[in-house]
Structure formats: C-alpha cells, structure tokens
Chain A
Amino acid sequence: MRRARPRPRIRANSRAVAALALSTAALTALTACGAAPEEKAETGAKGVKFTEATSAADFGGFDELVAAAEKEGELNVIALPPDWANYGEIIKSFQAKYKIKIKSETPDASSSDEIAAVKSRKGQKRAPDVLDLGIAFARSGAAENLFAPYKVTAWDKIPDSQKDADGRWYNDYGGYVSIGCDAARIKNCPETFADLLKPEYKGKVALNGNPTKSGSAFGGVYAAALANKGSFGDIQPGIDFFGKLKKSGNFIPVESTPATVEKGETPISIDWDYLNAGYADQFKGKGVDWKVSVPKDGVYAQFYSQAINKDAPHPAAARLWMEYLYSTEGQNLWLKGYARPVLLPAMTEDGTVDKTFVAKLPAVEGTPTFPSSEELDKANTTLSENWDKAVS
C-alpha cells in the first residue's frame, strides 16, 4: 500500500526543463572522450618529424632522441605483466634511467586487445605507444598499416628471419616450449612428449589455457606435432597427441596458473620455458620443487614482437623505449627473466651477454627454426577446427 502523500506541485514547464537538463548532462557525460588536442608535430634537429623518424639519426643522434623523449615525459605501454619476462624490472629501470613516467595499462591484455586499443583510440592521448605482440598479430597489424617503421641501433644484429624488412616489427624475446614438473609430487619427471603418455601421469598434465586462445598452449600443441612426425605445415599430429592424452586420462583441461601449480592440481604443466623457470623461483620453499626441461623430441621456439603504434601520442618516448629494449641492458634484463632475447646469439659472440643468467636457462640443443606466415595461418585454422573435437 502506498501512502497518499500530498505531492509538491511542480509546473509542467519546469519539469520539462529539469528533464532536458538531466538528459543533456547524461549525454555530455557519456560522450566526453579524451580526444587529444591537435598539436603541431614536433620535428628534430634534422627537420624530420618525430612521428616519421625511422632511426635515432633522424633525431640528430641518440642524445637528441633522449632529450626529445624526456620532453614528452610520458610513455603508454599495454599488456606487460610485471612477472612476465621480467617486465616489472625493465619498466622500473627505464623510468630510473630516463626522466619518463611509464603508464602501464591492462597488464594481462592479449594481443588482440592491444590491436583493438590502437584502432579504437586513434588520435587520443591514451593510445598505447608501443606494443608487444604475438607474431600473427605483428604480421597482420603491419599489413593493416598500424605500425611506424623504426630501426633501432642494433638493427643489423637482429637475424633477418626475425624482423620485418621495413622495421615495422621485429622479434624481441622468446622461449621454448618446456615441460614443468613438480618433483616433490612426481617421482620421475617427464622429459619428452613421448614420456607424457605413460600411465603414471594420469590426471597430471595441463596446458596453460586453451590453444585456440593462449599463445603458449598453442606452442605446446605445435611442439607436440613436431614430436609426432608433424611439421610446421601440419599441426594435426599435435592435436591427435593431445586427443590421445585426454582419452588416457593424463591430460586435464584446467588452465594451469601459479595457483594450480602451488596446490598440486597441475603437477605437470606445458608452458614457455621462461614462465616455467620463473615458477621454479617463485615456489622455492613452498613445498614445490619445480623442474623444467625442454623436450628433445619436440623443440619449438616462439618469439614475441615489438612494434611502435603509428599514431603514438609520445613518438619520441616510444622510439627511446625501443632503443632501450634492444640495448645490452634491456636484452640482459629479459634474459634475467629467463626469456631469450633476440640478440642473444650476437651478444654471446661479442661477450656483452650476462653469463650468470645464461647459465640458468634450461638446456636446449640446436638452433630454433620458425614457421612462415602461411604455415602459422594454416596451423591456426586446423587447430580452431579440430581441437574441440579431439579433446571433448
């Protein structure tokens, strides 16, 4: 029952005015986007616009680049988890070295989130300046003309197979598919894909996600394909392998995370070696003895790629960030996080590599080879069509 209350009399007119005022307020609140004010593009000493600079020389030298970047004073990064490949320390060191504040957004974003952010915030101050992308996204983004070509000082040392000829993207760091295993719970740790089929590993083997979504799980299936007479052009044997593993009850589809590893729910986890090696450190003294091995029968390495947003709000800082990542210091910081930086072979040759970190990496034999774009696309298509069928 509503109580009848004397209602205040408001004239219809003033009510209409109030309604209008309210809706206008709502509208302005909803449409106020942070559009960047039109600025005149800065130019360096040589008269090249920062947004079009393709090397430090275009700024008039490295010191000029630093000065220009510090004048901007800010850098937007996205999708860089602090505990992934030592990014936390890299960000700290960069801020300490240069007077530039890094705004790190959505650390756990995926590559497609990054590309979406570039597209949807074109021309805004909040757009990401630099990107760290899965290889397929680096290639498709370059094809869509989203990246600025830029060649860092160490450009010539990056192997040709790991860079775009125009410098729109190049590989930064990578790792090998590895098998992590909790020696405290598993008597004999598996060291190859063939080992994983043994009945003793029933209900123990996990991937770190769904391979149609997670890059490292995809790598795991690819490596399993190589281990089972497949090739870069033929991922199907890898899918069949996991189908067999699921049937035998060894494979559990739960996503392995630090939490499931620590609890012992996923005592064997297939993941990038740099993540698995990081777990080993993280769990020391927590009752988990995490051993990492790169399976000899399925060696698959994959690198991520760096790119600069073509419409970066801080073009100079973005380029300085690239220079920093590909400097000896930046590369060694990735190495400290167990990731293998792209310049590792070159730095091993000229002796600038930090040997203590190299010694900690899981052992691998031979040099890595990489699938071509076509092969990757084919593998993706095959996987998205057949994965569900194999494991459900």
Chain B
Amino acid sequence: MKAGGRTRRRRPPRAWLGALPLLVFAGLCFGLPAGALLYGAVTRTDPASGTTELTGEHLQRSLQGPYLTSLTGSVELSALTAAIATVFGVLIAQAVVTSRRGALRGAVLTASGVLANFGGIPLAFAFVATLGISGVVTQIGHLDALGWNLYSFTGLTVIYLYFLIPLMVIVVVPALDGLRPQWREAARNNGATAWQYWRHVGLPVLAPSLLGGFVLLFGSAFAAHATAAALVGGSVPLVTLKIADALSGNVLVGQENVALALSLDMIVIAGLVMAVYLPLQRRSSRWLH
C-alpha cells in the first residue's frame, strides 16, 4: 500500500458476480476436498452399524510413533533442501543475470524450466542409473568406497536439490533483474565495498523474493512423493509415503482416517511456515517502495 493512496473508485454494484465462477470453482475444487479431509480426520464411522461419531483418535495417532517420525523427517528434509537450494539458486541466477551473453541466459532458464518439472519415477530411475549402486557414475568414480549411498537421507537430499535449485533460479531471476545497476554505482561512488552493498542494499531488497522462494521450495519438497517412494521405500521416513501407505496399500486395512489426519498435519505445518513468512515479508518489502 502506498501512503496517501488514490481514492478508491466506487465499484459498480453486482461486480462480485463476475468473480462468482472463480469462487464457485475454488470452493468446489479446494474447499470440498479440504472439508472432506477435515471431516474424515476427526470422525470415525463404525463399519457394522454405519454410525459416525467425533473423535480425536486419528489426530492423536498421527502425532505418535512412526507417524510423528515421518512428519519430523519430512520437515527436516524439506527445510534442509530448501535452504541449500535457495543459496545455490541465487548464486547461479546472479551469475546468469550479470553475464553478458544472452545465449547463456536463455539456455540456463530453459534448462531450469525443464529440470524444475522433472520428477517422479523417471527422476528416481535416472538417478538409479547414474548414482545407484551399479550406476555409471558410481562405478567410474568408485563412489561406494567413499561411503556414497543413494538410498539414504543424503541421497534424497541430492535428488531433491536436482529439481529445487532450477526452481529457485526461475523464481529469483526476475527479482535479480529488478536490482538496478544505479544502486550499485551509487553505493560504489560513496565508497561501499561489494560486501557492504549486498549487506545494506542488495539483500534487503531481495529479501521478500528470497523468503518467498524458500517457502515455495519447502512446499515442493514437502509435498514430493513419487521419487522418494521409488527410491527409499520405508527406510527414510517421510509423511507423504506414510499417507500413501495408509491410504492405498495392499497390507494395512482401516488406516484411511489416519492418512487424512496426517494430511491435516501437513496443512497445519504449511500454514505455520506461511504464518512465519508473511510478517517477515511485510517487514522486508518496505524497501521496495
């Protein structure tokens, strides 16, 4: 909001009708599933009699034992990969933005667009073929002697970075483009070192985009499922894998409600991340106006 903003134009009556299709669509496609999820997470239906009652049992179970471990495992993996990808993404993007070659920029952005959307089983198998136990790179570089194991927390971290770093590049390039060269020149003319320029001008201006990027990456990593499922089965506890096990397996029966409760936990965690991010962003976006 700009201070002393223009007077608001009076909206014609019934203008909200124009937004109605969007509201209906959002209500159906987002509200209904979320409502069903909430309902399933806090109720229990007795299969024999068909009666439904309120219960906190599913939520309680979703915060215990292996389910709790999977939640913390997911948060750890997502936070770690998002943080690393934020740093590397910004460095690569800055290199691209400051390079004088248009071709390089085009190539990097195109490649990032492709890689950011590379996921699921194909990605898992690509890594198995290159960095798995009998993978090409593993064999040539004798990585197993160095203790490399793709099927571990570390292995998953590397794979997640493979699509998170390009995603960060895409997100942050426009923001870096927005840093005006005049600011740097002004800082230099006033005797600022490069470090001082970044510390007092560059990073504060970029902060909202960096934070936003981090939140986006965290969400991407947090919600990823197929790659991890194909690679580590149950050996790295992740909440998305637990939800899949409980929801659609051939082994466990009657765990659907716990799966819904786990999904609710995920929504809460995502909400908490946003709750931390929004005030920070508001604080740091002051410099942009």
- Which residues of A have CB within 8 Å of B236? 253, 392
On chain B, which size bracket covers the interface?
Answer: 35 or more
How distant is the Cα of A253 from the Cα of B230 in the complex, in angstroms? 9
Also in contact, A213 and B251, with CB within 8 A (given A203-B133, A259-B125, A265-B135): yes
- Select from chain B the residue with minimum beta-carbon distance to A143: B47
Taking a contact as CB atoms under 8 Å apart, the answer to whether B134 and A207 are in contact is no
Of the residues B20, B70, B251, contact of A136 by C-beta under 8 Å = B251
In whole Å, how far is A83's beta carbon from the nearest beta carbon of chain B?
17
With an 8 A cutoff between CB atoms, is A4 at the interface?
no
- Which residues of B have CB within 8 Å of A136? 251, 253
Taking a contact as CB atoms under 8 Å apart, the answer to whether A391 and B234 are in contact is yes
In whole Å, how far is B128's beta carbon from the nearest beta carbon of chain A?
5
With an 8 A cutoff between CB atoms, is A111 at the interface?
yes
Taking a contact as CB atoms under 8 Å apart, the answer to whether B128 and A254 are in contact is yes
Also in contact, A254 and B232, with CB within 8 A (given A260-B128, A384-B66, A388-B237): yes
With an 8 A cutoff between CB atoms, is B65 at the interface?
yes
Of the residues B18, B25, B134, contact of A26 by C-beta under 8 Å = B25
Also in contact, A144 and B47, with CB within 8 A (given A16-B17, A26-B25): yes
B251-270 interface bits toward A, Cβ cutoff 8 Å, 1 = contact, 0 = none: 11111100000000000000
With an 8 A cutoff between CB atoms, is A32 at the interface?
no
Of the residues B24, B69, B230, contact of A254 by C-beta under 8 Å = B230
Taking a contact as CB atoms under 8 Å apart, the answer to whether B235 and A246 are in contact is yes
How distant is the Cα of A212 from the Cα of B125 in the complex, in angstroms? 22
Also in contact, A212 and B252, with CB within 8 A (given A23-B21, A259-B125): yes
Also in contact, A15 and B233, with CB within 8 A (given A134-B251, A213-B249): no
A sample of 29 cross-chain residue pairs with beta-carbon separation below 8 angstroms, ordered by A number, consists of A12-B13, A22-B21, A26-B24, A27-B24, A30-B25, A110-B248, A112-B249, A112-B250, A112-B256, A136-B251, A140-B47, A143-B48, A204-B133, A209-B233, A210-B233, A210-B234, A210-B241, A212-B249, A212-B251, A213-B245, A213-B249, A213-B252, A218-B251, A253-B231, A255-B231, A377-B253, A384-B245, A384-B252, A385-B65
Taking a contact as CB atoms under 8 Å apart, the answer to whether B28 and A23 are in contact is no
- Select from chain B the residue with minimum beta-carbon distance to A13: B14
In whole Å, how far is A297's beta carbon from the nearest beta carbon of chain B?
23
Main secondary structure of the interface of A (DSSP, over half): helix
- Select from chain A the residue with minimum beta-carbon distance to B32: A30
With an 8 A cutoff between CB atoms, is A380 at the interface?
yes
Taking a contact as CB atoms under 8 Å apart, the answer to whether A19 and B21 are in contact is yes
Query: Which residues of B line the A interface, CB within 8 A?
Result: 12-15, 17-18, 20-21, 24-25, 28, 47-48, 65-66, 69-70, 125, 128-129, 132-135, 144, 150-151, 229-237, 241, 244-245, 247-256
How distant is the Cα of A134 from the Cα of B12 in the complex, in angstroms? 61
How distant is the Cα of A143 from the Cα of B28 in the complex, in angstroms? 33
On chain A, which size bracket covers the interface?
Answer: 35 or more
With an 8 A cutoff between CB atoms, is A200 at the interface?
no
Taking a contact as CB atoms under 8 Å apart, the answer to whether A215 and B151 are in contact is no
Also in contact, A210 and B245, with CB within 8 A (given A254-B231, A263-B134, A265-B128): yes
- Select from chain A the residue with minimum beta-carbon distance to B235: A253
Of the residues B14, B65, B229, B233, contact of A12 by C-beta under 8 Å = B14
In whole Å, how far is A270's beta carbon from the nearest beta carbon of chain B?
13
How distant is the Cα of A30 from the Cα of B250 in the complex, in angstroms? 31
Taking a contact as CB atoms under 8 Å apart, the answer to whether A265 and B132 are in contact is yes
Taking a contact as CB atoms under 8 Å apart, the answer to whether B253 and A380 are in contact is yes
- Which residues of B have CB within 8 Å of A27? 24, 28
Query: Which residues of A line the B interface, CB within 8 A?
Result: 12, 15-16, 19-20, 22-23, 26-27, 30, 109-113, 116, 134, 136-137, 140, 143-144, 203-204, 207, 209-215, 217-218, 246, 252-255, 257, 259-260, 263-265, 267, 377, 380, 383-385, 387-389, 391-392
How distant is the Cα of A265 from the Cα of B232 in the complex, in angstroms? 14
Taking a contact as CB atoms under 8 Å apart, the answer to whether B133 and A20 are in contact is no
- Which residues of B have CB within 8 Å of A111? 249-250
Closest 10 CB pairs between A and B?
A253-B235, A213-B249, A215-B250, A210-B233, A210-B234, A19-B17, A23-B21, A134-B250, A213-B245, A253-B233
Of the residues A15, A23, A209, A263, contact of B24 by C-beta under 8 Å = A23
- Which residues of B have CB within 8 Å of A218? 250-251
In whole Å, how far is B224's beta carbon from the nearest beta carbon of chain A?
16
- Select from chain A the residue with minimum beta-carbon distance to B29: A30
- Which residues of A have CB within 8 Å of B70? 388
Also in contact, A23 and B250, with CB within 8 A (given A143-B48, A212-B245, A388-B66): no
Of the residues A30, A109, A257, contact of B28 by C-beta under 8 Å = A30
How distant is the Cα of A217 from the Cα of B235 in the complex, in angstroms? 13
- Which residues of B have CB within 8 Å of A215? 250-251
How distant is the Cα of A265 from the Cα of B250 in the complex, in angstroms? 25
In whole Å, how far is B63's beta carbon from the nearest beta carbon of chain A?
15
- Which residues of B have CB within 8 Å of A265? 128-129, 132-135
